[in-house]
């Protein structure tokens, strides 16, 4: 079994670390939130006093952090010109494998990866898709950028946490593919919410309408697996007041990354830009910490669903 350091135990990272521990690996964890560490201990992980202790003696280190600035500060520290950073790469032995599962900007992923390689380490960017439910069930999709050999080395561990493992290409390719995916997710979630709201306002039952569209050409993942309308589907955020899912503010962050990528590529993304505006508006109305499927409330009267 492998000794793994795991840093970042939020809604996604916590269940991922637990899956590795349950598979028999030794998982040393650290997070800035004490409650997250307590949950990880209950799931069979070993608590570390800080990030440096979490990676001590580890062959593989996995990070799951909110944004590129956090990833750079953790792995590069002062060498990246960020005060208070850890430069954690310096604590790893030559040949260690770093798997960053954060969804971040491409430049940050490539910067950390290139420094890691220069120091004799292996690095892949491996953002995930599948949400909190996928993390808990171990059914995530991993979208990997980096050397093919490093992807192959990581596959047994990724398979403990996910079902679909894709090598998207060179370093940074995982982030590019993830941005494209999440932009499309935002577009079809907003469209699904809009269509359901229209039907309900004209007297249709949302469950019946969802079934009809699910068996017709309008079917999509948001409708079939993550329905945004309360009362239509169990075990989704809409069934629990949009708590415990993928927060709206994180979708806004991901759409911002997609817009920056589109600008770099000189690519027209009018639907993506509209989706970003809608989710920005929703977050600005105080909904940033609720699941992104709560975007349906933009289309409803103030009293909410009938």
Beta-strand relationship, 128-129 and 140-145 = antiparallel
Strand intervals (E) in 146-250: 162-169
Looking up tokens 């269940």 gives 15
Q: Of 155, 178, 253, 302, which residue is the catalytic one? A: 178
DSSP state of 169: E
- Structure tokens of 88? 């954690």
Percent of residues in the chain assigned helix, strand, coil, to nearest 5: 55, 15, 30
- Structure tokens of 302? 């103030």
Closest by CA to 178, choosing from 129, 118, 216, is: 129
**What is the number of residues in the chain?**
306
Catalytic residue check, 178 = yes
Rg (C-alpha) for the chain, rounded Å, is 20
- Structure tokens of 234? 């169990």
Report helix angle 173-201 to 248-265, nearest 10: 120
Active site amino acids: 178
């Amino acid at each position: 079994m492998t000794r793994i350091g795991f840093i970042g135990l939020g809604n996604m990272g916590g269940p991922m670390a637990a899956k590795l521990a349950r598979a028999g690996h030794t998982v040393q964890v650290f997070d800035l939130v004490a409650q997250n560490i307590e949950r990880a201990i209950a799931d069979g992980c070993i608590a570390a006093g800080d990030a440096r202790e979490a990676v001590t003696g580890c062959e593989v280190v996995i990070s799951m952090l909110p944004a590129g600035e956090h990833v750079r500060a953790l792995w590069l520290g002062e060498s990246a010109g960020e005060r208070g950073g850890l430069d954690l790469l310096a604590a790893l032995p030559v040949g260690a494998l770093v798997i960053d599962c954060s969804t971040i900007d491409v430049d940050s992923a490539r910067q950390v990866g290139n420094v890691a390689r220069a120091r004799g380490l292996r690095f892949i960017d491996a953002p995930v898709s599948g949400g909190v439910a996928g993390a808990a069930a171990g059914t995530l999709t991993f979208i990997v950028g980096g050397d093919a050999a490093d992807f192959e080395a990581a596959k047994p561990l990724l398979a403990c946490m996910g079902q679909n493992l894709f090598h998207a290409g060179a370093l940074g390719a995982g982030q590019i593919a993830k941005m494209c995916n999440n932009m499309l997710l935002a577009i079809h979630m907003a469209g699904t919410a809009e269509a359901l709201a229209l039907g309900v306002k004209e007297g249709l039952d949302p469950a019946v309408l969802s079934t009809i569209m699910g068996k017709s050409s309008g079917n999509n993942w948001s409708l079939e697996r993550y329905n945004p309308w309360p009362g239509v589907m169990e075990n989704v955020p809409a069934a629990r007041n949009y708590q415990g899912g993928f927060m709206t503010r994180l979708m806004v962050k991901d759409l911002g990354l997609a817009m920056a990528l589109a600008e770099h590529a000189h690519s027209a993304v009018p639907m993506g830009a509209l989706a970003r505006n809608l989710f920005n508006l929703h977050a600005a109305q105080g909904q940033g910490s609720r699941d992104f499927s709560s975007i349906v409330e933009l289309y409803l009267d103030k009293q909410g669903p009938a």
